[in-house]
Chains A and B, each alone.
Chain A
Amino acid sequence: MVETGVNSMSILEKNCVALEKNNAGLAAKLRSYEGDGIELERAKNGTFTFRYDNRLFHSSYDPEREAAAQVEEIIGRQPDWVVLFGLGCGYLLDLLIEKKQNKVIIFEPCMEILGSVLNSIDLTDSLSLDTVFLSDEMEGVAYFIRNNVDGLEDLLSYQTGPYLVTFPKEFLDFSNRVRNAHIAAQVAIVTDVDSRLPWIDNYMANCDAFVDNPAVDALRDRFKDMPAIIVGAGPSLGKNAHLLKEYRDKVVIIAAITAYKPLLEFGVVPHFLIAAERIDMPEYFTDTETDKEVRLILAEVSHPNLFARNARSKFVFFNAFISLSTEQLSIWGSDYFASIGGSVTTAGLDMGLMFGCDPIVFIGQDLCYIDGKTHVKGGVYQDQFLTIDEENSTVNIEQDYITHDENVNNEVALLWLKGLDGSAVPSKFDWVTFHQWFETYMVFMVKEGMEQKVINATEGGAYIEGMEHTTLADALDRYATKDIELDSIIDSAVKERKTANLPALIKSLVQMRDGLLYIKKQAGQLQKEVGKMKSAYKRSGLTPALIKNTNKIMAREKALFDRTAKAPFLWEALSAYTLELKEHLRDDRPESHKEQFETEVKVIEKTYSEIEEMTVRLLPLFETAIDRMERRQASGATEQEQ
């Protein structure tokens, strides 16, 4: 019989085909892998085991029995996701899947092991699942966690003895990254819920500014092959910022808003300042003539007062995580979403590359505590006092903030990153998130074949995998060799920019307003239904009819969600408020039917009352924006007629 198709494939090829869906890069790497391998041995029961570094990695008698005991331990802890450090021969993975623990992330630190195992053992059933991710890159795992693991989900890391003993450094690094990625996902939920409404407030208030100022992609490819210096406000900025002064005409200086005043102290006026603060922070500016020399690159959700500042010019950038922006981006005359890693310097990298700059050089990007400081001197922090408690993994930061009468004290979790010299440096969750984003971005650049160079010339702090590390003096010496006609480049870019489409904008705003009115009505009716159920429950307790009544509520919720799902903004507004509802549904504490009913009624009532409040708050914003845009359109039409 002639074997065809999948059957005739080698085991390696079958595994690679299964891997392709989730990790095509690894599949390609395995297909072309020509490095050393390991020798697989037969255990006494006929299955595979192997030795690496003179150590057995599975039982030489019965590896499956061994894995069964491990799986029992894992399943007993009821995790949502299992993160395995080490694939081994895949017994644990296969058994986890067999036991319906389908969400598994595996990092294999050794390519020799991975290549040999996938060459000889068919793991296609497990590897082909959407929820199984195998990688030989730590950053790949961190990226997968950030993008696929809900911050509310539990994540259990598991490793067997041989992997722990053979790869201790990798394990430590891996554990930190997994922990950091998961914390980032958890923090994202909190930030999202906390920030959502102020973002919408700001966006709606900034509509006029989006019409008046160009989108940042007006500068796309305008600085081709010119070096950009992205300036963060880390403590190491003090080491080299002064060098920029004499190179100002030969580089494009893009600074985080927090680095603006410190740079001025070194006699350097940046060309661009990036800001995305949702609250007004005038303390970042000098309120002098110098402010008028810089151009602002502002997020659409920045506080309106930032757009009102007297600067040389302003550019707007839009974010894909703001659903208003995803719906209206083209209306504003933009087709660029900044890839945001949570900080303005991460956004700066993406913008610098979009501008065509090469290389992109970072300074002041420490991403860790240096000498008891979080920021360079001269900014908004007059003084800082840090206490690092390694035993309890916390950092206490007491800060003398420029606008506060008294010192501000807060405690944050202590996390660790790899430093420039390879040793661990103390960090915190937001920096760790930025760091992970940078490393993911570097991997992305390689995969996309982007040839622009990215250099970390911070001269201190965290090591960023994928970037070249050198001094600023060296980077300037090598790349800042020609004068840049910055003003004329910007002027011509602004002249040629796309403008906002007002009729389309008004139509979009009206649709959103109508959607909000629908949500308001449904939320009100849902509350009425719940009110009726509560009265009935008070009268006759939990009756079968009452339980059946909950179906009505579910049907109404479904209608509400179906309608809003079609409009990203409405969906986002709604989902931000249904978080508690989702948390409740996840909660599997044993409750009696009565307790369950009471809790459900309470959560639904609270959720939809908040949703109604949200619509009451947002509707006037839309009414005002529609009114303003209609007037602009009318005056524009009048101007044209004249």
Chain B
Amino acid sequence: MTDIYLDNSKIDFEDTERDATVGELLTEIDSELKAGRRFVTKLLIDGEEQTDFRSDSVTSQLILGCKELKLFSDTVEAIALNGVDVIERYLNVVLENIDQSVKAFRAGGAEVGASSVIVIDGMTEIAKTMHELTKGGQNYDITVFRADPTPYYERILESLEALNKAKDSMDSILMADTLEYELRELVVEMLGALFTEKGS
């Protein structure tokens, strides 16, 4: 018999056929929570946190195979705030990566390719997450960012395209210029425009 908890309270879940999966449990709980503008945000299986708990490898597991399942939920607002916070922090990390990459490109270092991939992947991920957050916020009528991020998507894309093009022609100086004078400025602008000023 599997013990199941939601936000530290034990709950009942019927599994008469003994074939229910973790995914089915999540779907059912999410649907119950939806009315209260909440979602499951964390899952522990037998005490171990599942970092990517909505992935197939986790959701396909049989509940019967677990001794204990602990689920935690949060409000849509809290989720959105958390998402925004993550993006803001990640943008600062991107800034650091840009500086490092620029330094390497200018110096003609051998790790040029690797460091640029980190920045390109990071910005792509940020743009995707921002888009999803904005869309999710709209569904629940929440203003996620201080300003509309949509105009930035195109500029991010343009910079990333320029970076990829420079990368393909192995033009390290153009990559450094694009990173330092275009993408970096864009990130700084986004940080100033989209996020609530700290301490205010």
A residues in contact (CB < 8 Å) with B: 54-61, 66, 69-70, 73, 159-165
A160 to B175, CA, bound (A): 14
Residues in A with CB closer than 8 Å to B169 are 54-55
Determine if B112 is an interface residue (Cβ-Cβ < 8 Å): yes
Q: Is the CB of B108 within 8 A of A161?
A: yes
A57 to B171, CA, bound (A): 8
Q: Is the CB of B180 within 8 A of A61?
A: yes
The residue that B170 contacts in the complex, of A57, A58, A160, A165, with Cβ under 8 A, is A165
Q: Is the CB of B106 within 8 A of A162?
A: no
| New A-B pairs, 12, CB < 8 Å, besides A61-B177, A160-B107, A161-B105 | A54-B169, A55-B169, A55-B173, A56-B171, A56-B174, A66-B106, A70-B107, A73-B107, A159-B108, A161-B173, A162-B173, A163-B108
The 3 A-B pairs at the shortest CB distance, nearest first, are namely A161-B172, A161-B108, A56-B173
Residues in B with CB closer than 8 Å to A57 are 173
A274 to B112, CA, bound (A): 53
Q: Is the CB of B106 within 8 A of A55?
A: no
A55 to B171, CA, bound (A): 5
Chain B at the A interface: SS class: helix
Q: Which residue of B lies closest to A61 (CB)?
A: B181
Known contacts A60-B177, A61-B180, A161-B112; A70/B106 CB under 8 A:
yes
A172 to B170, CA, bound (A): 18
Known contacts A54-B171, A161-B112, A162-B171; A59/B176 CB under 8 A:
yes
Interface size on B, residues (CB 8 A): 17
A46 to chain B, nearest CB (A): 15
A347 to B149, CA, bound (A): 76
A167 to chain B, nearest CB (A): 12
A562 to chain B, nearest CB (A): 47
7 CB < 8 A contacts A-B: A55-B169, A55-B172, A56-B174, A60-B174, A73-B107, A161-B107, A161-B173
Determine if B103 is an interface residue (Cβ-Cβ < 8 Å): yes
Q: Which residue of A lies closest to B174 (CB)?
A: A56
B176 to chain A, nearest CB (A): 7
A165 to B112, CA, bound (A): 11
B residues in contact (CB < 8 Å) with A: 103, 105-109, 112, 169-174, 176-177, 180-181
Q: Which residue of A lies closest to B109 (CB)?
A: A161
A13 to B107, CA, bound (A): 31
A58 to B108, CA, bound (A): 11
Q: Is the CB of B107 within 8 A of A69?
A: yes
Q: Which residue of A lies closest to B108 (CB)?
A: A161
A384 to B145, CA, bound (A): 76
Residues in B with CB closer than 8 Å to A73 are 107
The residue that B177 contacts in the complex, of A56, A161, A164, A165, with Cβ under 8 A, is A56
Q: Which residue of A lies closest to B171 (CB)?
A: A55
Q: Is the CB of B174 within 8 A of A55?
A: yes
Residues in B with CB closer than 8 Å to A164 are 108
Residues in B with CB closer than 8 Å to A69 are 103, 106-107
B166 to chain A, nearest CB (A): 8
Residues in A with CB closer than 8 Å to B172 are 55, 161-162, 165
A608 to B181, CA, bound (A): 62
Q: Is the CB of A55 within 8 A of B107?
A: no
Residues in B with CB closer than 8 Å to A55 are 169-174
A160 to B177, CA, bound (A): 14
A326 to chain B, nearest CB (A): 45
Q: Which residue of A lies closest to B180 (CB)?
A: A61
Q: Is the CB of B173 within 8 A of A58?
A: yes
A363 to chain B, nearest CB (A): 42
B177 to chain A, nearest CB (A): 5
The residue that A59 contacts in the complex, of B109, B112, B173, with Cβ under 8 A, is B173
Residues in B with CB closer than 8 Å to A54 are 169, 171
The residue that B108 contacts in the complex, of A56, A60, A61, A160, with Cβ under 8 A, is A160
Residues in B with CB closer than 8 Å to A159 are 108
A578 to chain B, nearest CB (A): 39
B37 to chain A, nearest CB (A): 47
A66 to B173, CA, bound (A): 9
A502 to B103, CA, bound (A): 69
B120 to chain A, nearest CB (A): 17
Q: Which residue of B lies closest to A160 (CB)?
A: B108
Residues in A with CB closer than 8 Å to B112 are 161
Residues in A with CB closer than 8 Å to B173 are 55-60, 66, 160-162
